[in-house]
Amino acid sequence: MVRYCEMNNPKIKFIDLFCGLGGFRLAMQEISESSNCVFSCDFDADAQKSYESNFGEKPFGDITKIHENEIPEHDILLAGFPCQAFSICGDQKGFEDTRGTLFFDIARILQAKRPKAFVLENVKQLVSHNEGKTFARILETLENLGYQVYYKILNALDFGLPQKRERVFIVGFCEPRHFAWQLKKIKMKSLQEFLETEVAPNYFASEKIKENRLRSVENKIIKDELTIWHENKGGNISPLPYSCALRSGASYNYLLVNGERRLTEREMLRLQGFPEDYKIVVGYGAMRKLAGNTVAVPCVEEVLRSVSSALEKPIISEVLNAENKATNGAIESYIYSRYGERQGTVSSIISPIRKITVCPSS
């Protein structure tokens, strides 16, 4: 496997904000063994305990109380910032919710430290929240900081995992680069590869719940097929050959294997693409919350490969200068031809294409 970044940047430094179980870090370590996490933070005590047990360092706490100048210099900022303020399962208060305003802590760090790139992740509903105004404000904020920004909604089902988990990824570069979503999709694996055959009795739902589920899906069951039964907000039950998105705030019976039992801690980690040697050091309730909030690791890996590939390429302004494309009109025409019609660029949602300039050095 080609490991990006290592030729030109043998010790790429990154920070892991709202790190949770460390899904972003696992993905970064997979694509670059020599990458170096220089800072991590998470407010949740169970997340800190899990992260420390698996990576040997305890994350810092509340990011709102950490001054941006105290954060080490880094090349890439990674952040799956809290999604409850935008999730379909929450109140969707957006920036009115204090968890929604944590995005601006990311912005102040970007402004102060000016990393070469960033990767952000959140629920798909962020894009449409408040008629798209919330997302537009986020993208505009990132652009105003001098970053060239792209976004794309990805589904974990397309990267080998039997979990329907749609998330929006936002990536940005301090200096304009040749970027493309080079995503290698993987056929979804069978649930049999992820689910355990012997499970303790405490994972099973009550007889009453099982009977109610069975009556609801009696005509939908495919005989002898392994399924996970999903209950939506309206109370409708669907038996599916994959899991719907793990959710931190859902009821304990939101997902039931064959309508009978809850997922184990290890099964939840597998559905998010975590390795078998990941240590489970917190209780079931805490793991449900943390697993529901983490990222699908294989999906993040593909995003990071695309970002790393772009960082290896020359900065666009350098290419233009080398080709003697020095006038403003030529630069604007050149960049428009490459980026103006590309789906998922910031210009396609909030404004016409504008001339891209190299951001100031730190």
Which residues are catalytically annotated?
83
**8 Å CB contact between 222 and 230:** no
Residue 87 tokens read as: 């999730």
User: CB-hemisphere CA count at 13 Å for 94?
Assistant: 15
Q: What is the 3-state secondary structure (H, E, C) of the chain?
A: CCCCCCCCCCCCEEEEECCCCCHHHHHHHHHCCCCEEEEEECCCHHHHHHHHHHHCCCCECCHHHCCHHHCCCCCEEEECCCCCCCCCCCCCCHHHCCCHHHHHHHHHHHHHHCCCEEEEEEECHHHHHHHHHHHHHHHHHHHHCCCEEEEEEEEHHHECCCEECEEEEEEEECCCECCCCCCCCECCCCHHHCCCCCCCHHHECCHHHHHHHHHHHCCCCCCCCCCEEEECCCCCEEEECCEECCCCCCCCCCEEECCCECCCHHHHHHHCCCCCCCCCCCCHHHHHHHHHHCCCHHHHHHHHHHHHHHHHCCEHHHHHHHCCCCCHHHHHHHHHHHHHCCCCECHHHHCCCCCCCCCCCC
User: Residue 78 and residue 12: Cα distance in Å, rounded?
Assistant: 13
User: Residue 113 and residue 107: Cα distance in Å, rounded?
Assistant: 10
**8 Å CB contact between 79 and 105:** no
